[in-house]
Amino acid sequence: MSGVVVDRRGDVLRVRLNRPETLNALTLDDIAALHAALDLPPDVRAVVFEGEGERAFSAGMNVDTFLSFGPDGARAFIADLRDLLRRVRTAPVPTICVVDGYCLGAAFELALACDLRVATTRARFGLPEIKVGIPSVVDAALLQQYVGLSLAKEMILTGDHYSAETLNAFRLCNEVVLPEGLDAAVHDMLDRVCGHTRTVLAAQKRLFEVWQNTGLAEGADRSVEEFGQVFAAPETAAHLERYRAALRTHD
């Protein structure tokens, strides 16, 4: 059965990995449940991924998942995980990963796929797949953009765990706070990203993916189209009027 709990709080969707007795290790049912959670209602403004308990966001995939795989089963599984992480990256709203404790393997890839990461000082990150005998794949490809190629290779080839403090030098996480400050830090981040129109958030998220996968010229051309298209939405004009009125009150 799935260990994923989805909780709607206002316009924020909270997706919690809820199997603390196994460090929130993921199963195939959990991957399916995460897919379902990303069928977002039109009024959701942000998605927060978090883990139950103080020991881990998630230790990654439960190793038992791999024991029955042959080549075809392995390809089918990893393609499904790839598709899930793509849905996280391309969600039309900001995605935030909250990390307290271990964040390993596929769960680390989920954190990398999210737009923003908020972690505690006891968070530890790693890609231990190589120690199991399998490669780090799919969104592990993003790691070098966060920490540089040298450290990314070290992390992947050793499979070791790294503290939030070590990785904070590279701004892997947007906020690193003491455990008792985690909830406040997440609420503050949500306040900062949820006040924009859904139209502009969706456009900006599409552009992130374009910029990630194209060259400068094509990215700039696609940006022109996205910029023009946001003016087709009535909420753009309404938001501009509110912003202009707010500026006048400060004059």
Catalytic residue IDs: 109, 129
Determine how β-strand 4-9 pairs with β-strand 12-17: antiparallel
Q: Alpha helices, DSSP H only, in the chain?
A: 28-37, 71-90, 105-113, 129-132, 143-147, 149-158, 164-168, 182-193, 198-213, 216-230, 234-250
What is the C-alpha separation between 175 and 192, in angstroms, rounded?
13
What is the C-alpha separation between 133 and 130, in angstroms, rounded?
5
What is the C-alpha separation between 148 and 155, in angstroms, rounded?
11
Q: Would you say 91 and 206 are in contact if contact means Cβ atoms under 8 Å apart?
A: no
Determine how β-strand 116-120 pairs with β-strand 124-126: unpaired
What is the C-alpha separation between 3 and 193, in angstroms, rounded?
28
Nearest to 204, CA basis, from 174, 227, 220, 186: 227
